[in-house]
């Protein structure tokens, strides 16, 4: 083919590829179309927890929520009220609480370059200081197709706070749609 045809076909290919990147589902956006992965600097999902002390302390009663799921101001507020931690007493000696707070605040959503952390922050008004990940706008939007019998009425799930009940790779910071398996319902099929 001649020079002109080559340039035009290369241009068309580049346009098609970038369109296909943005036309993908919302979920794939968090993973990133391949152009984003090649040229973007955002990492997928949420940064996994690698702090063993945090895992031990904050994962002893519930899923060890990644710091990248809430902004620093939320974590600080939460750590200041451990004696009434959603109705439970989770008190710690001050020096231990400080270690955990430093970890949370240092790796919070507003400091992270992971895709979901960025999305969480983008949809959160700066005047909001949510204590519950499940009450963030991003979370609510993402879970708005669930029915009660899949979660609250499901004896194998019971609460929407139990991420790892359905998100099988949650502990790795991955919440991709194709990793979801709702106990008693099976894999998530998006219509």
Partner 1 sequence: MNRKLILVTALILAMPLSLQAGAISDLQANYQAKGAGPFSAVAGEKLWSKSFTDAKSGKMRNCTTCHTADLTKLGKHVRTGKVIEPMAVSVNAKRFTEVKKIKKWFVRNCKWTFGRECTAQEKGDFLAFFSSL
Interacting residues with partner 1 (CB under 8 A): 60-62, 83, 86-93, 158-159, 161-162
**Nearest CB to partner 1, comparing residues 64 and 124:** 64
Cβ of residue 173: shortest distance to partner 1, in angstroms? 20
114 forms beta bridges with 43
**Nearest CB to partner 1, comparing residues 64 and 72:** 64
**Nearest CB to partner 1, comparing residues 90 and 99:** 90
Cβ of residue 183: shortest distance to partner 1, in angstroms? 12
Q: Do residues 100 and 57 make contact, with C-beta atoms less than 8 angstroms apart?
A: yes
Pure H helices in 24-81: 26-31, 34-39, 52-58, 72-79
**Nearest CB to partner 1, comparing residues 58 and 121:** 58
Question: Residue 124: which of 135, 115, 113, 114 has the closest Cα?
Answer: 135
Cβ of residue 61: shortest distance to partner 1, in angstroms? 5
For the beta carbon of residue 136, count every other beta carbon within 10 angstroms.
Answer: 22
**Nearest CB to partner 1, comparing residues 136 and 154:** 154
**Nearest CB to partner 1, comparing residues 145 and 158:** 158
Question: Residue 65: which of 77, 81, 48, 45 has the closest Cα?
Answer: 48
Task: Tell me, letter by letter, the H, E, C secondary structure of 77-112.
Answer: HHHCCHHHECCECCCCCHHHHHHHHHHHHHCCHHHC
Cβ of residue 77: shortest distance to partner 1, in angstroms? 20
Please give the Cα distance from 176 to 182 (Å, whole number).
13
Cβ of residue 187: shortest distance to partner 1, in angstroms? 22
Cβ of residue 188: shortest distance to partner 1, in angstroms? 21
CA Rg, the chain, in Å? 20
């Amino acid at each position: 083919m001649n020079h002109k045809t080559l340039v035009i076909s290369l241009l068309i290919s580049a346009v098609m590829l970038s369109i296909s990147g943005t036309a993908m589902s919302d979920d794939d956006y968090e993973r990133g179309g391949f152009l984003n992965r090649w040229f973007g600097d955002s990492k997928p999902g949420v940064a996994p927890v690698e702090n063993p002390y945090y895992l031990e302390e904050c994962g002893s009663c519930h899923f060890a929520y990644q710091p990248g799921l809430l902004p620093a101001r939320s974590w600080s507020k939460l750590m200041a009220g451990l004696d009434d931690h959603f109705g439970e007493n989770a008190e710690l000696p001050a020096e231990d609480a400080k270690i955990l707070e430093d970890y949370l605040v240092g790796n919070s959503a507003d400091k992270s370059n992971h895709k979901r952390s960025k999305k969480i922050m983008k949809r959160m008004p700066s005047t909001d200081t949510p204590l519950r990940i499940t009450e963030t706008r991003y979370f609510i939007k993402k879970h708005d197709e669930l029915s009660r019998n899949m979660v609250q009425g499901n004896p194998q799930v019971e609460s929407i706070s139990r991420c790892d009940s359905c998100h099988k790779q949650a502990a790795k910071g991955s919440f991709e749609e194709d990793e979801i398996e709702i106990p008693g319902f099976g894999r998530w099929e998006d219509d």
